[in-house]
């Protein structure tokens, strides 16, 4: 008589989902995108509050307090979903994070600036692992290491 608990479909589904998320996370600059998006959210959050008597709103009706966080969140999400363009998004996010220093409450009271700079650096420096990348059939067909030899290339042992 076995005393182990039977596996349920729910626990297997959870493991499959968690394994799929881990694979997705490892095939893109996840932490760089996350920190960049969090920088945008933090900078936007600081536009709605003040640190004692210290609060700045520059530009016509605080337009930069909407624009810079939107750029950072967008760059963070695009870093996740388009990792092949990560360098462009990292540069745009770094410039937006630096501009937030003078444009929006001292860069979200320096925390958003630091998150944005560090997140864009992580996105810029990320390199994909070749063994984790799933290639399409078209890419595999063009790869000579993955294509089987044709019938004319095989040498017969009866020669």
Show contacts of 56-62: CB within 8 Å, 24+ apart.
56/104, 56/105, 56/106, 58/102, 58/103, 58/104, 59/103
DSSP secondary structure string for all residues of 44-59: HHHHT--BTTB----S
Cα–Cα distance measured from residue 41 to residue 61, given in angstroms and rounded to the nearest whole number: 19
Predicted TM-score (pTM) above 0.75:
no
pLDDT digits (tens, 9 = 90+) for 112-143: 999 999 999 999 999 988 766 666 555 555 55
Sequence ranges of the domains in the chain? 22-49+63-139
pLDDT digits (tens, 9 = 90+) for 81-107: 999 999 999 999 999 999 988 888 788
Average pLDDT over residues 39-62: 72
């Amino acid at each position: 008589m076995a005393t182990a608990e039977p596996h349920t479909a729910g626990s297997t589904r959870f493991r499959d989902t968690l394994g799929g998320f881990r694979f997705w996370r490892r095939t893109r600059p996840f932490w760089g995108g996350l920190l960049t998006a969090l920088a945008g959210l933090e900078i936007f959050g600081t536009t709605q509050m003040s640190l004692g008597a210290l609060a700045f709103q520059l530009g016509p009706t605080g337009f930069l307090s909407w624009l810079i966080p939107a750029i950072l969140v967008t760059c963070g999400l695009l870093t996740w979903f388009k990792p092949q363009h990560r360098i462009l998004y990292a540069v745009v996010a770094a410039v937006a994070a630096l501009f937030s220093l003078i444009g929006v409450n001292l860069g979200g009271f320096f925390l958003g600036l630091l998150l944005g700079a560090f997140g864009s650096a992580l996105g810029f420096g990320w390199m994909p692992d070749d063994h984790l990348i799933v290639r399409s059939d078209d890419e595999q067909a063009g790869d000579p290491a993955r294509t089987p030899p044709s019938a004319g290339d095989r040498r017969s042992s009866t020669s």
